[in-house]
Amino acid sequence: MSNDLNRRAEASGGFSRRRFLASAAAAFAVPQIVPASALGKDGQTAASERITIGMFGVGNRGSSSLSSMRPLTDHQVVAIADCRRDRAVRAQEHVHGFYAQRLGQETYSGCQIYNDFREVLARDDIDVIWGCVPDHWHGVVYSRAIEAGKDIYGEKPVTRYIAQGIKVRDAVRRYGCVFQTGTQQRSQSQFRQACELARNGYLGKVHTVEVGAPGGTSYPAEPPCDPPEGFDYDMWTGPAPYIPFDKKRCEWLAMYMISHYCAGFITNWGVHHLDIAGWGCPEVFEKSFEIQGTGVLPAEGMTDTWISWQMELVWASGLKMNYSNIGNPCKSGCTFIGDEGWVRADRNGIWAEPASLLTVQFKPGDFRLHASPDHSNPYTGHTADFFRSVRSRQDPISPIEAGHAASTLGNVSDICLRLGRRLKWDPAQDRFTGDDEANAMLSQAERSPWTI
């Protein structure tokens, strides 16, 4: 690592050789014998050069993130924060077992667990925060990590509310943070191919974008009960309104369908394909549009987010986007339709008409999008791209502006449906045009002390 890179990393609040040396001294001090992997031999990254990571949240998404890191050698998970102690202990055991195997040791004990994420942020030997907490925590956790000088891999949507996302986006640039949004579809080749076909005119003029995402579901109300031992429910609730605990509301999938914690799949899942829409048609992110639509909410139970929806977004240029839950009527994924052809990509593949579009050889003068390192698992490729950016101090494939813009499209759709009328959104101002009631819904009061 060059001295210049170290200076730039220090200035921007990123990692530094000083931090690496501090973490290496604590995590890799082995009496008498130092494993070759700790010295950077056998294809391993030297301990002093590894990116040190604090994991926030190790449920479904956090556990998958740990697995996606395994093929990469340039990191070290040294801290885990989760308000469910059983999850934290399981993740710690996973990390210890993995690193013991990698280091050629019988045991390893370099990863600590915490209930309160603020204790992790106070450690100056940690370079990166991996944010896998529920959506309602994103704004608070990400903003505090940025202020603590950490780089962030932040799961999507960037924030639960648009106003929080504006603050996080602006703080990333103010503090020089490297922020990778967890919209890992950008690290799958078929999505990049579809977007490059759209952006380079191979479809002709793109006039319509269609986005289809999984719809929501409902859950019946559950009677209140005591949280299980080792579950700090007050911490889990955080900035959201405090509601008595029950056995479903904090679990997959119910918590994603309760508006206190998440806007529902119209944002939480839809953000993936909405992000691809903006990657292939920058106008989707950058220009004002009018939006209207219809949707169906649960008739009863604890959930209150959209089960189904049909949205129409229209830009001044004539570009139109149809956004619905899958089959209502949009197909899964993102489809770009031009006057000379169309292309659709989802996680299972890519399709086009004419089919010859799929064999197009891009020309030297064509615009090419950022490509992540090639890995069979897109999460691993997305992770590797983030690690590369932490070192280079350059933007990753899913920078904060794109993550916030894609999250905003979902949240604007939610607000439009709740108000039941046509709205106009101006991304340059981060506000609805001429609608005070809609603008009042850009934020919600945060429960003390969990404010941005």
- 10-residue averages of pLDDT along the chain (452 residues): 37 41 39 45 73 97 95 96 98 96 92 98 98 98 98 98 98 98 98 98 98 98 98 98 98 97 98 99 98 98 98 98 98 98 98 98 98 96 98 98 98 98 98 98 97 94
Domain for residue 147, yes or no? no
Domain for residue 61, yes or no? yes
Domain for residue 395, yes or no? no
Of the residues 117, 132, 147, the one at which a domain ends = 132
CATH code of the domain covering residue 72: 3.40.50
Domain for residue 178, yes or no? no
pLDDT of residue 9: 41
Adjacency order of strands within the sheet including 75-81: 112-114, 75-81, 51-56, 128-131, 151-154, 179-181
Domain for residue 234, yes or no? yes
**How many domains, in total, are found in the chain?**
2
pLDDT of residue 48: 79
Rounded CA-CA distance 129/179 in Å is: 10
pTM summary value: 0.92
Adjacency order of strands within the sheet including 423-426: 349-353, 341-346, 333-338, 206-213, 320-325, 308-315, 289-296, 423-426, 431-432
- Do 122 and 190 fall into the same domain? no
- Do 114 and 200 fall into the same domain? no
Domain for residue 32, yes or no? yes
- Do 124 and 23 fall into the same domain? yes
- Do 258 and 116 fall into the same domain? no
- Do 326 and 215 fall into the same domain? yes
Of the residues 89, 104, 132, the one at which a domain ends = 132
pLDDT of residue 34: 42
CATH code of the domain covering residue 254: 3.30.360.10
Domain limits for position 48: 3-132
Rounded CA-CA distance 277/293 in Å is: 18
Residue among 82, 333, 24, 4 nearest 188 (CA): 333
Q: Which two tokens stand for residue 235?
A: 């911490």
Domain for residue 450, yes or no? no
- Do 76 and 191 fall into the same domain? no
Domain for residue 253, yes or no? yes
pLDDT of residue 33: 43
